[in-house]
Amino acid sequence: MIISVASGKGGTGKTTIASSFIKIAHDHIAVDCDVEAANLYILLDPLVRKTENFIGGAKATLTGDCINCEKCEELCRFEAISDSAVSIKFDKLKCESCGVCAYVCPTGAIELIPEEQGKFFISDTSFCPFIHAKLNPGAENSGLLVTKIRNISEDIAHKKNKKVIIIDGAPGIGCPVIASLNGVDFALIVTEPTITAINDFKKVYEVACFFNVKSLVCINKFDINTDNTSIIEKFCFSKGIEVLDRIPYDEDVPRYLAEKKFIVDNLESPASKEIRNLWNKIEKVLYCE
Ligand code: SF4
Ligand code: SF4
């Protein structure tokens, strides 16, 4: 079974909740699909067993003789090519890999060459195997990298006979989120009672619906604005979405995070108690459906 913890808006407590599940679950694998700003590894403190380069999209590169005709520069719609005294120069951050420059170059001096766009890591932690990745700054294809690490996690789960894969999904609704929701059994959408979080929650819910993924909802910090919490609950009721839990605001949560500690290790914390309660409910969903 694969559960993806999603949020839409960043900062709702998604990673706090995902890391708590990873700490208390059994027989599982953890995956951090937030490849643009990976941070789960800071808490899990993994022992990296394998590092591999992620080769993403091809970028235009000058590999032959340039006669400085400027055709490529004229036709590049993305202004990724500029002229210099000797030959042309490429701005790899602007290059969209369309291939026009290579097509029009009279000397065949341009090639599109695949480049390393990040790395992914296969690790052990005290709790479970862990797969995460880091995209290079400005690099693209984050969705492809998420798909890559998800495929690896499924291979490892199969080989090690692990029953559950817990994904800490990327925030937002872009490619990495789509890649971290596609094909999972459940999405746990963590939201909070703020207007931006509610709007983004609805967008993530739509993405999950598009992929026929069942959504469950957890309202974090529900008591900071109970009117907005009611709005979320009414929306969920109207769509038939189960609100699995409401977690109270708890000052211990940021304090524990700052100290690189798991909030679920604090047995007196109200948030910790609710997160444990939430995981018990999720286990029932995972093993009973
Ligand atoms: S591949 Fe396309 S975007 Fe990249 S430099 Fe060439 S023309 Fe410009
Ligand atoms: S089209 Fe080819 S020859 Fe002309 S400027 Fe570009 S790289 Fe140089």
Residues 173-215 pLDDT 10s: 777 788 888 889 999 999 999 999 999 999 999 989 998 999 9
CA of 17 to the centre of ligand 2 (A): 53
From residue 250, give the alpha-carbon distance in Å to each of 40, 89, 131, 263, 279: 20, 53, 29, 10, 18
Q: Say yes or no: CB of residue 110 within 6 Å of ligand 2.
A: yes
63 lines ligand 2 (CB under 6 A): no
pLDDT category, 266, cuts 50, 70, 90? very high
DSSP, collapsed to helix, strand or coil, labels residue 247 as strand
Residue nearest to atom 7 of ligand 2 (CA): 66
**In the chain, what are the domain boundaries?**
2-45+125-288, 58-116
Give first-to-last CA distance, the chain, whole Å: 10
Specify the CATH class of 58-116 in words.
Answer: alpha beta
Determine which residue's CA is closest to atom 3 belonging to ligand 2.
66
At residue 289, does pLDDT exceed 70?
A: no
Q: What is the distance in A from the centroid of ligand 1 to the CA of 234?
A: 49
Counting Cβ atoms within 10 Å, is residue 249 exposed (0-12), middle (13-18) or buried (19+)? Answer: middle
Strands (E) located in the chain: 2-6, 28-32, 47-62, 81-83, 88-90, 110-124, 129-135, 164-168, 186-191, 214-220, 242-247
Q: Ligand 2: which of 62, 65, 72 to mutate, judged by most atoms within 8 Å of the beta carbon?
A: 72
Q: Copy the structure tokens of residue 8.
A: 């839409």
Check residues 37 and 141 and name the one with the higher pLDDT: 37
Residue 151: CB within 6 Å of ligand 2?
A: no
Q: Which ligand is nearest to the CA of 78?
A: 1
Q: Tell me which residue of 271, 204, 209 sits closest to 232, measured CA to CA.
A: 204
Q: Is the CB of 60 under 6 A from ligand 1?
A: yes
Q: Does 256 sit in the ligand 1 pocket, CB within 6 Å?
A: no
In this chain, the answer to whether the domains covering 2-45+125-288 and 58-116 adopt an identical fold is no
Please write the tens of the pLDDT for every residue from 41-65. 999 999 999 999 998 778 899 999 9
Mutate-to-test residue for ligand 1 from 66, 76, 83, highest number of ligand atoms within 8 A of CB: 76
Rounded CA separation 165/222 (Å): 27
Mean pLDDT of all residues in 113-140 = 89
Pocket test for ligand 2, best of 67, 100, 112 (most atoms within 8 A of CB): 67
Place of tokens 């490619």: 175
CATH of segment(s) 2-45+125-288: 3.40.50.300
